[in-house]
Chain A
């Protein structure tokens, strides 16, 4: 078990890297959850012209290379980008900042939440939503009291997947936030740096830490999905 010894050496494992990674992935997942679920709700409700195109656009980050996403984001929020100067007026600079890493991760994980939320919302029995309408519920109440609670389990699976994916984000983050130790260096970036620098012990420690975190997320997701709410036998 020689390869584990670096893990036990004090100071090799950078707790700050893990905390930054959890912060970036956590905020990105939260933001993407709100946006993804609301988008899925709007799109799942009824067909409209161009729905297929909007759906494809929402799923695009899933298949685009992360470097392409990073490039688009630079065009959008970079210093000379579309929104960059406007953001700068509010004192917001996303380039080479941890907030930039959040933006990158948010875009990358969005399709995972959107896709699962749409599937879960569409699987809700429309009769239940109609029943709520005949009882006087507004569309917003139908969503909050009926659709969302019934779709929750399916949505949660996507959210957990998004969080795990967000922790491993590399390409888009590197392009927009760079790889600044202590500021924007997340787990996967730190692993790359350590490996490049020939610090195998550090790299291995971070690799194992990442693997354990991801295992934890997957197990938690499974626990939430199977051990969560149970409505007994259906009507």
Chain B
């Protein structure tokens, strides 16, 4: 379960004309019991800011963020856990792989961090995968992930020397290695060429079903909505314009493109 409610105002950035010098105000609130929630909207509508707030990389002036019963942020109650304790898997738009560490070291990076104990105690999100443990079993889990994501043969390469698809798989494997409460993906397919994009969508659908972790995906590509959305939230200028149960719409066989064009104009 994901329950997010944030209000924040960014000061006007120097040299940014888009906001007309008034700064940017975000005021959003949404909740879902579904596995995958898609945030759709134009660039600069506050989608990434929302993910950053959930991950603890941005601290909204007011807000409340609860995931699977754990309160990560509640400004009214003075709760604001730091990013490292939140247990949120974040796949950055440019993947943010550590360029000086091998694929394996990247995936291993989050193992041994202190917060896994608390995540492990919350088995509600997983379906019997068990907690990540230190030492040998941590290594085994990394081996499994590398194999599952088909990056075991490039495990010793640096991220700069592998393909775009492999980089993306590495980023997802790294985020999942820590057994996160929830997964956040910022335009996960935008850096890929169109053919690879179609393939990676299929792969990710399979992987999401396998891991069964609640996920929020940011996109401005209607194909991503078709492929992933259970709940669809449409952003516009820092506010929520629509919130839809997309699963129902999908069973009616309506492609997202027409719907989105109708809703966003």
Q: Point out residues on A near B: beta carbons under 8 Å.
A: 125, 127-128, 130-138, 145-146, 149-150, 229, 231-235
Residues of A within 8 Å of B89, CB to CB, are 134
- Cβ-defined contact, A135 with B161, below 8 A: no
Q: How long is the Cα–Cα vector from A233 to B116 in the complex, in angstroms?
A: 33
- Cβ-defined contact, A235 with B95, below 8 A: yes
- Cβ-defined contact, B84 with A136, below 8 A: yes
Q: With A232-B158, A232-B161, A235-B160 in contact, do A133 and B84 touch (Cβ < 8 Å)? A: yes
Q: Is B167 an interface residue, CB under 8 A from the partner?
A: yes
Q: How long is the Cα–Cα vector from A120 to B101 in the complex, in angstroms?
A: 18
Residues of B within 8 Å of A131, CB to CB, are 90, 92, 96-98
Q: How far is the CB of B196 from chain A (nearest CB, A)?
A: 15
Contact with A along B144-161 (1 / 0, CB 8 A): 000000000000001111
Q: How long is the Cα–Cα vector from A137 to B110 in the complex, in angstroms?
A: 7
- Cβ-defined contact, A136 with B99, below 8 A: no
Q: How far is the CB of B110 from chain A (nearest CB, A)?
A: 3
Specify which of B83, B90, B116, B158 lies most central, judged by the most chain A CB atoms within 10 Å of its CB. B83
- Cβ-defined contact, B84 with A137, below 8 A: yes
Q: Is B13 an interface residue, CB under 8 A from the partner?
A: no
- Cβ-defined contact, B88 with A134, below 8 A: yes
Chain B residue with the shortest CB-CB distance to A138: B84
Pairs A-B, 4 closest by C-beta atoms: A136-B113, A232-B160, A135-B110, A131-B96
Interface residues of B in 92-112 (CB under 8 A from A): 92, 94-101, 109-110
Q: How far is the CB of A59 from chain B (nearest CB, A)?
A: 25
How many A-B pairs have beta carbons closer than 8 Å: the answer is 87
Specify which of A146, A229, A232, A235 lies most central, judged by the most chain B CB atoms within 10 Å of its CB. A235
Q: Point out residues on B near A: beta carbons under 8 Å.
A: 55-57, 82-90, 92, 94-101, 109-110, 113-116, 158-161, 167, 174-175, 178, 191
> Which residue of A127, A137, A146 contacts B113 across the interface (Cβ within 8 Å)?
A137
> Which residue of A130, A149, A233 contacts B83 across the interface (Cβ within 8 Å)?
A130
- Cβ-defined contact, B98 with A146, below 8 A: yes
- Cβ-defined contact, A127 with B158, below 8 A: no
Q: How far is the CB of A147 from chain B (nearest CB, A)?
A: 11
Residues of B within 8 Å of A235, CB to CB, are 94-97, 99, 159-160, 167, 191
Residues of B within 8 Å of A130, CB to CB, are 55, 57, 83, 90, 92, 96
Chain B residue with the shortest CB-CB distance to A139: B84
- Cβ-defined contact, A136 with B178, below 8 A: yes
- Cβ-defined contact, B56 with A229, below 8 A: no
Q: How long is the Cα–Cα vector from A127 to B90 in the complex, in angstroms?
A: 11
Q: How far is the CB of A141 from chain B (nearest CB, A)?
A: 8
- Cβ-defined contact, B55 with A134, below 8 A: yes
- Cβ-defined contact, B83 with A231, below 8 A: no
- Cβ-defined contact, A136 with B92, below 8 A: no
Q: How long is the Cα–Cα vector from A232 to B154 in the complex, in angstroms?
A: 14
Residues of A within 8 Å of B97, CB to CB, are 131, 235
- Cβ-defined contact, A135 with B160, below 8 A: no
Chain A residue with the shortest CB-CB distance to B119: A136
- Cβ-defined contact, A134 with B160, below 8 A: no
Q: With A134-B89, A135-B174 in contact, do A231 and B94 touch (Cβ < 8 Å)? A: no
Residues of A within 8 Å of B158, CB to CB, are 231-232
Residues of B within 8 Å of A138, CB to CB, are 84, 114
Can you list 14 residue pairs at the A/B interface with Cβ under 8 Å? A128-B96, A130-B90, A131-B97, A132-B98, A132-B109, A134-B55, A134-B83, A134-B84, A135-B84, A135-B110, A149-B100, A232-B99, A235-B167, A235-B191
Chain A residue with the shortest CB-CB distance to B168: A235
Additional A-B contacts beyond A134-B55, A232-B99 (16; CB < 8 A): A130-B55, A130-B83, A130-B92, A131-B96, A134-B83, A135-B113, A135-B178, A136-B85, A136-B116, A137-B110, A145-B98, A145-B101, A150-B99, A231-B159, A232-B160, A235-B97
Residues of A within 8 Å of B92, CB to CB, are 127, 130-131
Residues of B within 8 Å of A150, CB to CB, are 99-100
Chain A residue with the shortest CB-CB distance to B184: A134
Q: How far is the CB of B211 from chain A (nearest CB, A)?
A: 16
Residues of B within 8 Å of A125, CB to CB, are 96
Residues of A within 8 Å of B86, CB to CB, are 134
Q: How long is the Cα–Cα vector from A235 to B57 in the complex, in angstroms?
A: 22
> Which residue of B83, B87, B100, B191 contacts A229 across the interface (Cβ within 8 Å)?
B100
> Which residue of A135, A232, A234 contacts B109 across the interface (Cβ within 8 Å)?
A135
Residues of B within 8 Å of A128, CB to CB, are 96, 98-99
Q: How far is the CB of B253 from chain A (nearest CB, A)?
A: 37
Specify which of A130, A138, A149 lies most central, judged by the most chain B CB atoms within 10 Å of its CB. A130
